[in-house]
Amino acid sequence: MAFWSRRPKHTPEPPASRPQPSVPVPVSPFDGADPSPTTSDPELFPTPMTSERIAQILRADGAHFGVDDDGDCIGFWQLRMFLFVLYGETPTFLQIRGTWSREASIERLDEILDFINDWNTERIWPKAYARVRDDGAVSVSAEVAVDLEKGGNDAQIRQVIRCGLASGTSFFDALDERYPDPVAQSPAL
């Protein structure tokens, strides 16, 4: 007997006792949608990135945020500041950058860098890094950056935003667990 056959499989008729659905069950996001959508509909089709679109998506998700002088959205999630920045001549890169709500002393820099290197080695997101400020305090940031040269639909942008916030928060939670207060003080000798 052959593994396959050219004859179509017989599909039995459904029993008459079961009611048949009057409306076909949607199998794709386009089923039941506007039969003639325009390509400028950001719900369905990729459209160019703007700070206004980011703000609309954040508002739709119930986020509380502000807009800085450059037009970038900025807000606090679990006491951590997150900034949503578009880069490029025509905005093509969306970066969601979070900042740890605490600072560390310069004496802890090596161990914090070890923690960050381990994180970056084991995970894709977020990219984490530390900076030493002029006053010697160590500031830690996490970011997710995505190239959206061709734009994105609202669901795609929402997914990037949620990924940036969730992965950044996860990183900062791990950092808080590793360095409970008072991390700003030098370690005891």
* Total tally of structural domains belonging to the chain: 1
For the domain that residue 153 is a member of, what is the CATH number? Answer: 3.30.1460.70
pTM (two decimals) = 0.74
97 assigned to some structural domain:
yes
Domain-located, residue 83: yes
Question: Domain containing 95: what range?
Answer: 51-178
Question: Do the domain assignments include residue 90?
Answer: yes
Report the DSSP beta bridge partners of residue 14. Answer: none
pLDDT at residue 56, rounded to an integer: 95
Residue 11 lies in a domain: no
Measured CA to CA in angstroms, residue 26 lies from 29, 30, 31, 76 at distances of 7, 8, 5, 38
pLDDT tens track, the chain, 189 positions: 444 445 555 555 555 555 555 555 555 555 555 555 566 677 778 888 999 999 999 999 999 999 999 999 999 999 999 999 999 888 889 999 999 999 999 999 999 999 999 999 999 999 999 999 999 999 999 999 999 988 899 999 999 999 999 999 999 999 999 988 765 556 665
What pLDDT, on the 0 to 100 scale, is given for residue 14?
55
Nearest by Cα to 155 from 35, 47, 32: 47
Q: For residue 188, what pLDDT is reported?
A: 64
Which pLDDT does position 45 carry in this prediction? 83
Tell me if 117 is assigned to some domain.
yes
Q: Which of 168, 99, 1, 129 is nearest to 160 (CA)?
A: 168
Please state, as a whole number, how many other Cβ atoms lie within 10 Å of the Cβ of residue 167: 21
**If you search the block for the tokens 């951590």, which residue do you land on?**
80
Q: What is the DSSP letter of 95?
A: E
pLDDT at 22: 58
Cα 137 to Cα 117, 134, 143, 175: the distances in Å are: 19, 7, 20, 16
Q: Is residue 184 part of a domain?
A: no
Residue 65 lies in a domain: yes
Other CB atoms within 10 A of residue 137 CB: 14
Q: Give me the pLDDT at residue 164, please.
A: 97
How far is Cα 45 from Cα 52, in angstroms, rounded to an integer? 17
Residue 39: its pLDDT value, please?
61
8-36 burial, b at 16+ Cβ within 10 Å, e below that, comes to eeeeeeeeeeeeeeeeeeeeeeeeeeeee
Mutual orientation of helices 51-60 and 154-178 as an angle, nearest 10°? 70
Contact 133, 44 (CB under 8 A): no
Q: Is residue 13 part of a domain?
A: no
What is the C-alpha separation between 12 and 53, in angstroms, rounded? 50
Q: What is the pLDDT of residue 44?
A: 78
